[in-house]
Amino acid sequence: MKTMSIKKISMLAGVSPTTVSFVINNKKGVSEETRKKVLRVIEQEGFIPNINSRRLSMQRSFNIAFINSESYAMFSDAFANNTIKAAVCEANKMGYSITLLPEMNLKNTHSLAQAIGQGNIDGAVVMHDINPLVFATLQERNIPVVAIDSHIQNPPYPCITMDYEGGAYQVCRYLIDLGHRDIAYMGVKSLPDFYLRCLMGYNRALSEADLRIRAGWTMGASDDGTNVPEATRNALLAALRDSEPPSAIFCCNDLSAIGVISGLVQMGLSVPRDVSVISIDNITVSEYFIPPLTTLHVDAALMGEKSIQLLHDIIEGRSEGGTIYVDYGGLIIRNSVIPYAQSSRA
Amino acid sequence: MKTMSIKKISMLAGVSPTTVSFVINNKKGVSEETRKKVLRVIEQEGFIPNINSRRLSMQRSFNIAFINSESYAMFSDAFANNTIKAAVCEANKMGYSITLLPEMNLKNTHSLAQAIGQGNIDGAVVMHDINPLVFATLQERNIPVVAIDSHIQNPPYPCITMDYEGGAYQVCRYLIDLGHRDIAYMGVKSLPDFYLRCLMGYNRALSEADLRIRAGWTMGASDDGTNVPEATRNALLAALRDSEPPSAIFCCNDLSAIGVISGLVQMGLSVPRDVSVISIDNITVSEYFIPPLTTLHVDAALMGEKSIQLLHDIIEGRSEGGTIYVDYGGLIIRNSVIPYAQSSRA
DNA sequence: ATGAAAGCGCTAACAT
DNA sequence: ATGTTAGCGCTTTCAT
């Protein structure tokens, strides 16, 4: 099968290249008859127009960059897989390709600048939040961008996010309904807004139920230089050194739940017998952890899909951006939580 | 900053476009003096040549497709992250972009065929092994491909792999040196070659030490429709229903170790007190599992890097392909293994 | 060593 | 409704 082109197709169909281009791009201005004829030849020859030629001529790349934010890399690993898969599918459907860029850091956006300079990027999606350097680089060159699963309160960029306050509330309510009264909170300090949004949901649930929130039970992990589970474990160990453990702990995400459980075990406590642990995310490994995690499902795939749709609308000038909320999924009930009455604390 | 082009640069430098093109591509045939002059203007203007124009003119895309094999998706998730990151970096260094393709399955390679037809793909790397449909699609269009971390004995395609037999031997030796004598093997049946390669290493280590290999202790999980940890847990439960548990189990990868541990716990056994568990891979979560996994490190990043280098060499006609072995990394000693003497079985 | 010019395969403005 | 033609920004052949 020798390489086809619009020109050859046009000759075979006995029309002009323009006409072929028109039918390929579904433009009007060609009679139903010729359209059929051209379509038949295209089909027959298995012709697919050369994307690079189209790129050059239209001055756009039909490429979307996927940027993995450098912070909390481990966090991303666990969460981003489903997101990116969904994003790739959606992008393909819409005629874009997804180009993976190396992780940016706060000092280096070279490969991004390079890709933009080359004209290889029509837009970008970034996992979680966008670092200032990356944002500046994008702005400067007028490349639209959307953040997926932003953790920031009012981000200056378009984003897809979830109602984490509501999710936290939901999850704490579950604990309360199960009879737990001594409930602690474990957040991640390097994500201050996310920390707060979850804390607000936690506070709302507890005050609604007239539950006391003890001082030492609002815990925060600082994952500077380490990773979420390890930082969380350390924070837990420090916080609970000389205080009675709660009967349940709400963790802002699965990874910190893993750290918390690991710390609890280290303290000689058993989950869920002595302490129940609940969290948000439902990353893949949650199901196989011991004990399997009871957690609120976050639809990472849906976020990926929506991010591409939003980005596309922005590129096409149909949207100004803004924040799009995705509903949180259902509570996945597994084994890290038991009713207070069945626990060793009752 | 208005959009630059070779033409404008050439005018600013007082030379012809050809000359500018020559210096950009480091071709000879331009005097040191003019080269310097041109370089200065390029630098001054921050000029980066338009990739799409180059693509059209050179009839190549400078794009490498990254294809995630549809099988054992979960397996990939856990392992592929470091691989792909490294591949992206290496590719960028060499002037390629990485384009992510949706997961192929055995019936559908549409998006791949589309990308090839468009002329958007110079080559492809695929995670683990290459399914026949994908391979056929690639072959037909003459697109070079390399498999990363192939599990097959003599694959018909170029690949990067590891000496799994040697790794298995290594790991079993460790168990034996720690005094274990009743050692079982857990493999994954849907990867028959990989199952065998590990089994050979296991057999070699055990026979060298004159250890008896009991019939029921060569176990295999079939992950049809499920995932590795779950399949493994089921296989373990079935195999150990009416036989004495071994004092140690070698699992062909971390995910099956997670399944095994989960099954052991379900049987009321404790790891490592009652049974030691060792495996191969060192995926991220191994460190945070309870207990943290003792496992042989596999350098997933190195594999990603090498795959791009090999692919590049093939594209450039400098290599015929073949199989490249990567050394296995060191044994990462954590808490899932203890000396036999310290176990409850002694 | 340097330059003129053709061409890569498409799109789109402009005829007809 | 259809065709002619001029680019898009590079590479490369062929003169000089």
Q: Tens digit of pLDDT for each residue in B47-96?
A: 999 999 999 999 999 999 999 876 555 555 667 888 999 999 999 999 99
Question: What is the spatial distance, in angstroms and rounded to an integer, between the CA atom of A13 and the C1' atom of C15?
Answer: 22
Question: What is the spatial distance, in angstroms and rounded to an integer, between the CA atom of A27 and the C1' atom of C15?
Answer: 19
Question: For residues A138-173, b (16+ Cβ closer than 10 Å) or e, as one string?
Answer: beeeebbbbbbbbbbeebebbbbbbebbbbbbbbbb
User: What SS3 state is found at B52?
Assistant: helix
The confidence score (pLDDT) of residue A150 equals 92
Mutate to test the interface with B, among A24, A75, A97, A233 (most CBs of B within 10 A): A97
CB contact (8 A) between residue A118 and residue B48: yes
User: What SS3 state is found at B146?
Assistant: strand
> Would you state the structure tokens that stand for residue A235, as one six-digit string?
């924070």
For residue B3, the tally of other CB atoms under 10 A from its CB is: 10
Contact by Cβ (8 Å): B23, B39:
yes
Q: Is the pLDDT of residue B300 over 80?
A: yes
CB pairs under 8 A between A and B: 126
Describe the crossing of helices A73-93 and B73-93 by its angle, rounded to 10 degrees: 90
The confidence score (pLDDT) of residue A44 equals 95
Cβ contacts of B72 within 8 Å, gap of 6 or more: B128, B190, B191, B223, B227, B228
The confidence score (pLDDT) of residue A284 equals 79
pLDDT band, residue A162 (cuts 50/70/90):
very high
Match 């670092």 to its residue by tokens: A131
- Contact of B88 with chain A, judged by CB distance below 8 Å, is answered with yes
| Protein-proximal nucleotides of chain C (any atom < 7 Å from a CB) | 1-5, 7-13
CB contact (8 A) between residue B98 and residue A97: no
CA distance A207 to chain B (A): 33
Q: Is the pLDDT of residue B2 over 80?
A: no
Q: Is the pLDDT of residue A299 over 70?
A: yes
The answer to which of A61-75, B56-70, B116-130 has the lowest mean pLDDT is A61-75
Protein side of the strand C interface (CB < 7 A): A 3-7, 17-18, 21, 24-25, 49-50, 53-54, 56-58; B 14-19, 22, 28-31, 33-35, 53, 56-57, 59
CB contact (8 A) between residue B88 and residue A100: yes
The confidence score (pLDDT) of residue A3 equals 84
CB contact (8 A) between residue B100 and residue A118: no
Alpha-carbon gap, residue A68 to B312, rounded angstroms = 25
Nearest chain A alpha carbon to B79: A77
Q: Is the pLDDT of residue A74 over 60?
A: no
Residue numbers in B near A120 (CB within 8 A): 51-52, 97
The confidence score (pLDDT) of residue B334 equals 97
| Protein-proximal nucleotides of chain D (any atom < 7 Å from a CB) | 1-5, 7-13
The answer to which of A296-305, B12-21, B72-81, B122-131 has the lowest mean pLDDT is B72-81
Question: Percent of chain A scored above 70 by pLDDT?
Answer: 97
pLDDT band, residue A251 (cuts 50/70/90):
very high
- Contact of B53 with chain A, judged by CB distance below 8 Å, is answered with yes
Average per-residue pLDDT for chain A: 93
Question: What is the spatial distance, in angstroms and rounded to an integer, between the CA atom of B19 and the C1' atom of D16?
Answer: 15
- Contact of B85 with chain A, judged by CB distance below 8 Å, is answered with yes
Nucleotide with minimal C1' distance from the CA of A18 is: D3
For residue B244, the tally of other CB atoms under 10 A from its CB is: 11
CB contact (8 A) between residue B50 and residue A61: no
Question: What is the spatial distance, in angstroms and rounded to an integer, between the CA atom of A242 and the C1' atom of C7?
Answer: 79
Question: Percent of chain B scored above 90 by pLDDT?
Answer: 82
The three state secondary structure string of chain A is CCCCCHHHHHHHHCCCHHHHHHHHCCCCCCCHHHHHHHHHHHHHHCCCCCHHHHHHHHCCCCEEEEEECCCCHHHHHHHHHHHHHHHHHHHHHCCCEEEECCCCECCECHHHHHHHHHCCCCEEEEECCCCHHHHHHHHHCCCCEEEECCCCCCCCCCEEEECHHHHHHHHHHHHHHCCCCCEEEEEECCCHHHHHHHHHHHHHHHHHCCCCCCHHHEEEECCCCCCHHHHHHHHHHHHCCCCCCCCEEEECCHHHHHHHHHHHHHCCCCCCCCCEEEEEECCHHHHCCCCCCEEEECCHHHHHHHHHHHHHHHHCCCCCCCEEEECCCCEECCCCCCCHHHCCCC
Q: What is the pLDDT of residues B175-233, one digit of tens each?
A: 999 999 999 999 999 889 999 999 999 999 999 999 999 888 999 999 776 778 889 99
The interface residues of chain A toward chain B in range 30-49, judged by CB-CB distance below 8 A, are 46, 48-49
CA distance A47 to chain B (A): 8
Average per-residue pLDDT for chain B: 93
The confidence score (pLDDT) of residue A1 equals 53
Protein residue with the closest CA to the C1' atom of nucleotide C11: A57
The confidence score (pLDDT) of residue A285 equals 81
Nucleotide with minimal C1' distance from the CA of A17 is: D3
Candidates B77, B120, B289; nearest CB to A284: B77
Greater confidence (A276 vs A106) lies with: A276
Strand-pairing partners, residue A294, are A278
Contact by Cβ (8 Å): B251, B186:
yes
Strand-pairing partners, residue A297, are A281
The confidence score (pLDDT) of residue A149 equals 93
